[in-house]
Amino acid sequence: MRTFRINDVTLALNTITGGRLSQYWDQIYSGSNPYIVMKSSGLPGKAIMETPGMVYGDPGRPLKKLAVVMTLTEQVIELAAQTGVDAVIAHHPVADAASSGGVLLKTYLDLYDLTVFELHEVFHGLHPGMAYIHGHTPFVTETQCSGVQGRIYHVGKTIDGVQTLGDLLDRILRFSDWQTENRLLQMEKVLRGLDSIEETSVAVGGEILLGQREDPVQTVLHIFPHTGFDENDLVHVFSRYPEIDTVIASVSRVRKTHPLVKKSSELGLRFILGSSHAIEILENGIPLANALSELLPGVEVVLFRQKVFSYPLHAFGSDVLRQYGEKISRDNLLLHRDTHQQPVGQEEEHSEEN
């Protein structure tokens, strides 16, 4: 059987993406690759550049095991190292410190001879899985709504078997395996004797915000609020496609009081929350892992599922850990609580009053 190397991952990813990866560093600065994108909220020092392809590693190293993950973190790095993974493919952009426990990627990854790739924008738009899971077939897909790269929306017709909001909600929950995840959460609650544990994939299940289960659905507008899609975009799209009767918001979510929901109500539209960012590994990770397994026969491909739990402070960890937390807090972190200075703003306000 053929021996694969790290560079074969690049070749496989370019096959999957149609050659979108940045294979040469000069592309990063020349602007020749449109998928090399700067992301910034304007927060000092927090901008990130997406560089699709190999972020760090040795392209000549042998490859036996490959992990697909949504977001690189120190937990991912440690699990990969401990389980014999040679390379990690992260969907989301990778950054020093943010993706590696506050330390430098290079020195951390070198410890475990671990190679890291990133994809993100180069993977978006390659398959209709998001629409399929949400029960529709798009006849319009826009990736630059209002001229903003990545501000995506679909307009689609519902597929066979999806006739009502209830059908749509049940399909979303079924594809997210919500019942199994909820059962696992309930088992942990019983094991720990604690009712107040929360877990992301359970907490953010599908939900109808406007409308009833029995309401008919035929034409949907599928949006992703975290891209910046707002109520003005909604009005614009609806004016072009007045047959839209339902808005699906997925990956990111909105509250009932959000302007998008209010505007949808004004337009007589139904509104449903679909799958969240927390389970994107199901929508994008599974197809990607299957394609890699096909292109790299003999390489073990695994998926890393990332979950976040919420526990009340008084019940977090074991008895000895809770005692440790209280001791360190009391003996080391609260030494100056009786002599701490007031915030500068309060001092200035007090001075002005005098």
| Residue with token string 């449109």 | 34
What is the rounded CA–CA span in Å between residue 86 and residue 46? 29
Q: Rounded to the nearest 10 degrees, what angle do helices 178-192 and 165-175 cross at?
A: 60
Beta bridge partners of 49: 38
- Complete DSSP assignment for 17-85: HTS-S--STHHHHH---TT--EE--S-TT--EE---EEEES-TTSEE-EEEEESS--HHHHHHHHHTT-
pLDDT for position 336: 83
56: number of Cβ within 10 Å: 15
pLDDT for position 21: 87
What is the rounded CA–CA span in Å between residue 259 and residue 74? 37
pLDDT for position 2: 85
pLDDT for position 354: 45
pLDDT for position 335: 87
Confirm whether pTM is higher than 0.85: yes
The tokens describing 292, both together, are: 């890699």
Specify the DSSP element, H or E, that contains 199: strand 198-199
Q: Which residues of 253-266 are buried (b: 16+ CB within 10 A; e: fewer)?
A: bbeeebebbebbee
Q: Where are the alpha helices (DSSP H) in 91-230?
A: 105-111, 129-133, 165-175, 178-192, 200-203
What is the rounded CA–CA span in Å between residue 35 and residue 33? 5
pLDDT for position 44: 96
Taking the mean position of all CA atoms in its chain, how far away is CA 52? 16
pLDDT for position 338: 78
What is the rounded CA–CA span in Å between residue 96 and residue 108? 10
Beta bridge partners of 222: 154, 248
State the 10-residue block means of pLDDT for the chain, 354 residues long: 92 94 67 84 93 94 97 98 98 96 96 96 89 96 86 95 97 95 97 94 94 98 95 97 98 95 98 94 95 98 96 93 95 84 56 49
Mapping DSSP to helix (H, G, I), strand (E, B) and coil, where does residue 272 land? strand
Specify whether the CB–CB gap between 260 and 231 falls below 8 A: yes
What is the rounded CA–CA span in Å between residue 259 and residue 81? 45
